[in-house]
Amino acid sequence: MSALLNVNKMTHYFGGLRAVYNYNLNIKPHQITGLIGPNGAGKTTIFNLITGVYTPTEGSITLENKSIKGLETNEIAARGLGRTFQNLALWRHMNVLDHIKMAHYSQLSYGLIGSFFNTSKCREQESRVEENSYRLLELFDIKQHADQIVTNLPYGAQRRVEMARAMATNPKILFLDEPTAGMTPDELGQMIKIIRKVHQDFKVAIFLIEHRMKFVMELCQHIQTLVFGELIAEGPPEEIQNNPEVIEAYLGKEDLT
Amino acid sequence: MEIARKFKNTFSNVPMLGWLLGVLAAVLIEYYWGYDYISYYLGLPKIPVLFGTLIMLKDPMMIPGVIGYDLIVYVIPILLIAKASNFFTNPVAAILEKTPLWLSAIIHLIFFYGVLHLWAGINDYRVLVVKLTMISIILTISINVINGYQGEFSCSHPGFMAIGAYISSIITLYFFVNDKTFGAAVLSPDLGPWLFPFALIAGGIGASLGSLLVAVPSFRTRGDYLAIISLAFMFIIKSAIENLNVIGGARGMGGQPDYAPLPIIFIWTMLCIWVVHNFVTSIMGKALNAVRDDEAASESMTVKTRKTKMTAFMFGAFWAGIAGGLFAHVLAYINPGMFSINRLAEILAMVYFGGLNSIIGSIVGAVSINVLGEALRPLELFKWIIIPLILILVMIFRPYGLISFKEINAKKLLRAKHKREQGA
């Protein structure tokens, strides 16, 4: 099986600060990969580098064997790289349905003139998008909130809106930046279910950043550990769990005296 | 409160058509009996132009007469006719409901225009007020695209307006008028009114090209800094025109032919409302809101943020240019001083008073600030205390303006309103 996303020897500097060094990633279709590491290790930076928010100083990034390095974020997203954010990044004046509709932006072709004069092409595409949006809302169990402004929803529902919105871009890989941040243990269980469901129903590969070990160990088939911008360990969950370097990075060195 | 509720209940079954009919009746009463009988017996010197506010403020002794006039001519006939006619306006509205929405909307608009034309036609001053109000509506909607939907604080609107006004004036003066700076008319003046839309559109396109000077910096900066850049743009345009003696410099440019009568301005205003409404309710247009609320999230959701920002500026500036062109041809004289900080204050007042992110809010804002401005004219200096005070109060109680984040629902507005079944 060839790799869906391939990152090779990616290095990035913020001025003189080396944020990421020699980072490699290989995601196969339909695989869940986790990225763990202490605070400030550069996990979110890696997300931002791959999704095109920053352009890496060195290294290559290819999606389905085509280089996506240096492209704009929206182009990379349109090629099949959806994401959610660490702190919810919803559009606060917009209702839930519009959120999902908006994420279909790259799938519209009626253009500005079409939208000015409400041409039949525009109406046809918009109604198709609306249909698809309702389908997604139902799938994520937020259909009852469709007309509500997103800031009025409970936190768990907002998370689901974000997930549904990311799925509306029709991604091949879904990037989840701390999907359980600020959640109660109850909501955590729900989130695991949702991620499993997305993984199975949409046949996407998932790449996630997470702090909670239980969550990562349960979901991921492959885990990377990042410390100070460098990978220190990589492998299946059991291996990572018992890796002395990982334990050291998280818990500190064992005092043998 | 109780009275207001009862009032609302009594008139809840009057469709839009009924209200229009009521207004028509009021206008006809004023047209036929307003001067000869009603204002004569009430001791008024002439027909009160803007519901009598001007007379009231000049001569407080006239207040009872004016109130009586407004009641007899406007309030009572409108309410009576609207209520009494709903036995047939409701069925008619129900029939119209079955036709396509655009047809029903056009019929309502034609009816509305007829009434407006009759009302304004009673007095030349009213015509001017209505014309300027409609131009303000276009301006307010166009700035709402940038400041409301796109959420940038742009102060360059008078500049866009000036570009549109000057370009369209130069075109009409050059082609259709024997002017002392531009020489004899190139084309027959008879063609003028027919080709005038192209002159306006050229002005609009000029303005939208000019807006790129503000749109491109907006890729990198937001908020206060962009406001300063846009303010600078406005002053650049103003000083550039002041120093271009070919087009009159600071003395201005006059003699524009009267190509902008009431129906033409009405058509442009409705066209503007329709096009902007289509745009902002489409996904392409809602991308403006997405970029305003969270740019990074929009990028990740495949929205082309740069294109979206550029569209907002160019689209807003285009309509400002159209408004400028109409403005020039209504007044038949423009000078750079008209497109300066005062105009900016007026435009901003209209958009923030009426409501951000809403076309209907823009209409309300433009109409109320314009009518208020005219009505309070006799107060002279105090006018500039009262209007800002109202604005401050609105900002305190409704920070986003009177009617914000609401779109027109034409279908709901025009539908028949049947009385609810008793006891059901």
Count of residues in chain B = 424
pLDDT at B327: 95
Note the pLDDT tens digit of each residue in B146-156. 999 999 998 99
Kindly state whether residue B299 falls inside one of the protein's structural domains. Answer: yes
| Set of chain B residues whose Cβ sits within 8 Å of the Cβ of A115 | 278-279, 282-285
Judge: A94–B296 Cβ closer than 8 Å, yes or no. Answer: no
Average pLDDT (B120-132) is 90
Looking at the fold, whether B71 and B162 belong to one and the same domain comes out as no
A1 touches chain B (CB under 8 A): no
Mean pLDDT value of segment A78-94: 91
Q: Are residues B196 and B253 in the same domain?
A: yes
What percentage of chain A has pLDDT greater than the value 90?
A: 61
A159 touches chain B (CB under 8 A): no
Q: Do B209 and B279 belong together in one domain?
A: yes
Q: Same domain, yes or no, for B166 and B46?
A: no
Backbone conformation region of residue A88, classed left if phi is above 0, alpha if psi is from -120 to 50, else beta: beta
Whether B109 is in a domain gets the answer no
For residues A73-81, average pLDDT:
93
Question: Of A38-42, A93-97, B227-231, B299-303, which gets the smallest average pLDDT?
Answer: A38-42
Q: Which residues contact B371 (CB under 8 A, 6 or more apart)?
A: B50, B129, B133
Cross-chain residue pair B283–A106, CB shorter than 8 Å: no
Tens of pLDDT, residues B61-77:
888 888 888 888 888 88
- pLDDT-derived band at A74 (thresholds 50, 70, 90) equals very high
Tell me, what's the pLDDT at B421? 42
Q: Determine, for residues A102 and B290 on separate chains, whether the beta-carbon distance falls below 8 Å.
A: yes
Domain ranges of chain A: 1-81+212-219+230-257, 87-171+181-203
Task: State the DSSP code for A217.
Answer: H
Number of independent structural domains in chain B: 2
Confidence of residue B423 (pLDDT cuts 50, 70, 90): very low
Pick the closest to residue A178 from A165, A154, A159 (CA basis). A159
pLDDT band of residue A254 (cuts 50, 70, 90) is low
Residue A185 phi/psi, 5-degree rounding, is: -55, -35
The pLDDT tens digits of the residues spanning B303-335 come to 999 999 999 999 999 999 999 999 999 999 999
Residue from B153, B302, B289 nearest B217 by CA: B153
Handedness of CA A106, A111, A116, A121 (dihedral sign): negative
For A122, the closest of B282, B303, B405 (CB atoms) is B282
**Domain containing B241 — which CATH number?**
1.10.3470
- Given this model, what pLDDT does residue A257 score? 58
Are A1-81+212-219+230-257 and A87-171+181-203 in the same CATH fold? yes
B212 and B94 inside one domain: no
> Are residues B145 and B73 located together in one domain of the fold?
no
A95 contacts chain B (CB < 8 A): no
Nearest CA in chain A to B307: A112
B418 lies in a domain? no
Q: How far apart are CA A21 and CA A10, in angstroms?
A: 6
Residue A101 with chain B: CB contacts under 8 Å? 283, 286
Quick one: closest CA in B to A111, which residue?
B284
Closest in A53, A89, A116 to B279, CB measured: A116
What digits encode the pLDDT tens for the residues A162-214?
999 999 999 999 999 988 888 888 888 888 888 998 999 899 999 999 888 88
Same domain, yes or no: B94 and B147? no
**C-alpha–C-alpha distance, residues B159 and B237, integer Å:** 6
Q: What is the mean pLDDT of residues B93-108?
A: 88
Distance from CA of B280 to the nearest CA of A (A): 8
Contact B158, B344 (CB under 8 A): yes
Mind telling me how many Å the CA of B225 is from chain A's nearest CA?
A: 23
What does the alpha-carbon distance between residue B205 and residue B160 come to, in Å, rounded to a whole number? 10
Q: Where are the alpha helices (DSSP H) in A110-179?
A: 111-117, 120-139, 155-168
CATH of A1-81+212-219+230-257, one of 1.10.3720.10, 3.30.465.10, 1.10.530.10, 3.40.50.300: 3.40.50.300
- State the DSSP code for B381: G
- Among A45, A84, A105, A151, the strongest candidate for a mutation testing the B interface, having the largest count of B CBs within 10 A, is A105
pLDDT at B328: 95
Q: Which residue out of A47, A53, A74, A101 would a mutagenesis test of the B interface target, given it has the greatest number of B Cβ atoms within 10 Å? A: A74
Task: Report how many Cβ contacts below 8 Å link chain A to chain B.
Answer: 103
* Inter-chain touch A112–B311, beta carbons under 8 Å: yes
**Would you say residue B322 lies in a domain?**
yes
Q: What pLDDT does B418 receive?
A: 67
Domain A87-171+181-203 matching CATH 3.40.50.300: the answer reads yes
Distance from the Cα of A112 to chain B's closest Cα (Å) equals 7
Residue in the structure block whose two tokens are 């809010």: B361
The verdict on residue B305 lying in a domain is yes
Mean pLDDT of chain A, nearest integer? 90
If one compares A237 and B137, the residue with the highest pLDDT of the two is B137
Burial of residue B206 (CB within 10 Å: 0-12, 13-18, 19+) is: buried
Q: Show Cβ contacts of residue B123 under 8 Å, excluding neighbours closer than 6 positions.
A: B47, B49
Instruction: Say if B67 falls within a structural domain.
Output: yes
Judge whether B405 is closer than 8 Å to chain A, CB to CB: yes
Same domain, B340 and B231: yes
pLDDT in tens, B357-371: 999 999 999 999 998
Confirm or reject contact between A106 and chain B (CB < 8 A): yes
Whether B289 is in a domain gets the answer yes
Given pLDDT bands bounded at 50, 70 and 90, which one contains residue B420? very low
Q: Which residues of chain B does A98 touch, with a Cβ-Cβ cutoff of 8 Å?
A: 286, 289
Looking at the fold, whether B89 and B206 belong to one and the same domain comes out as no
B contact test, residue of A90, A93, A100, A106 with most B CBs within 10 A: A93
Note down the domain range covering B21.
2-99
Q: Mark whether B236 and B383 lie in a shared domain.
A: yes
Please give the pLDDT value at position A255: 64
Contact B320, B142 (CB under 8 A): yes
Per the domain annotation, does B165 fall within a domain?
Answer: yes
Q: Are residues B213 and B348 in the same domain?
A: yes
Report CB contact under 8 Å: A74, B294.
no
Q: Quick one: tokens of B334?
A: 């423009």
Per residue in B172-182, pLDDT (tens digit) is 998 888 887 78
Q: Does B366 share its domain with B407? A: yes
A61 close to A10: Cβ distance less than 8 angstroms? yes
- Tell me the mean pLDDT in the region A1-24: 89
Tell the residue number behind the tokens 């931002």, with chain if given: A48
Tell me whether residues B289 and A105 touch, CB distance under 8 A. no
Give pLDDT, residue B419: 53
* Distance to chain B for A82, nearest Cα, Å: 7
